[in-house]
């Protein structure tokens, strides 16, 4: 059985050992607390940096959207101005030719004569103007010519083959806008009316063509593409 003195020494050693362990644990705790605080600070800094980057991203996105809107607006304005410029240039072309007796319709120019000639002479005049007698290719073009109120030669004839109507470019007629009873080739004078004129004194704008003798003098209409 240990003596009381020895027992006290053992107790003191045990206490000192526990105090040492306590101090070590306290040191570890303090170090961990310090490390935690450092990590928290780093986390806070990263969070702040992330928020700043998010703000910059949002600002750049908004700026990009604003620039895209401005780009779209400028593109629309450019297209509008180009259309206006095209319209002005077209109008200038039309006006320049209108001063010389030309009319404009659907990308073509039309010359309306003020004198009268036979069909061949009329066509020759058109050719000298860099055009040809008008070829009517649509209902809209027919209506446009009808509204000119002119009785005039057009570029249609069956002078090569009787009954086969061809335009001056050699293409065969597919859609005609004949007056009632036309073409009649002259009735009793069959085979004598081989050229076509357009009438204006009709109620129906798509029933105005009449075949007539090619040697008859009429006004004429020239056409050339723009």
Per DSSP bridges, beta strands 209-212 and 132-133 are unpaired
Query: Higher confidence at residue 5 or residue 182?
Result: 182
Contact indicator for 122, 218 with CB cutoff of 8 Å: yes
In this structure, are 84 and 28 located in the same domain?
yes
Mean pLDDT across the stretch 5-14? 84
Q: Name the domain count of the chain.
A: 2
The reported pLDDT for the residue numbered 151 is 94
pLDDT in tens, 29-63: 999 889 899 989 899 998 898 999 998 999 999 99
Q: In which domain, by residue range, is 92 found?
A: 1-99
Phi-psi region of 219 (alpha: psi -120 to 50; beta: other; left: phi over 0): beta
Q: Which sign, positive or negative, has the C-alpha torsion 114, 119, 121, 125?
A: positive
Residue 136 sits in a domain whose CATH number is: 3.10.100.10
On whether both 118 and 53 belong to a single domain, the answer is no
Q: Which of 99, 122, 147 is the last residue of a domain?
A: 99
**Which pLDDT value is given to residue 187?**
65
Whether residue 160 is predicted with pLDDT greater than 60 in this model: the reply is yes
pLDDT band at 219 (very low <50, low <70, confident <90, very high): very high
What pLDDT sits at residue 201? 75
Could you tell me if 81 and 33 lie in one domain? Answer: yes
- In this structure, are 70 and 108 located in the same domain? no
Res. 95: pLDDT tops 90 = no
Last residue of a domain, one of 75, 99, 123: 99
């Amino acid at each position: 059985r240990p003596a009381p003195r020895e027992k006290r020494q053992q107790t003191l050693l045990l206490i000192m050992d526990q105090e040492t362990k306590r101090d070590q644990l306290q040191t570890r705790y303090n170090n961990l607390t310090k490390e935690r605080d450092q990590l928290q600070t780093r986390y806070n800094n990263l969070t702040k940096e992330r928020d700043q980057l998010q703000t910059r991203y949002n600002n750049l996105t908004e700026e990009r959207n604003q620039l895209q809107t401005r780009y779209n607006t400028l593109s629309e304005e450019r297209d509008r101005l180009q259309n206006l410029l095209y319209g002005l240039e077209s109008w200038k072309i039309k006006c320049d030719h209108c001063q010389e007796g030309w009319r404009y319709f659907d990308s073509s120019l039309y010359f309306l004569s003020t004198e009268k000639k036979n069909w061949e002479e009329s066509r020759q005049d058109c050719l000298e103007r860099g055009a040809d007698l008008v070829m009517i290719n649509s209902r809209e073009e027919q209506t446009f010519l009808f509204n000119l109120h002119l009785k005039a030669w057009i570029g249609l004839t069956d002078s090569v083959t009787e009954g086969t109507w061809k335009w001056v470019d050699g293409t065969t007629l597919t859609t005609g806008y004949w007056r009632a009873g036309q073409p009649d080739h002259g009735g009793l004078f069959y085979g004598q009316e081989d050229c076509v004129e357009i009438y204006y004194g009709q109620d129906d704008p798509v029933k105005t063509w009449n075949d007539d003798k090619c040697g008859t003098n009429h006004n004429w209409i020239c056409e050339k593409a723009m």
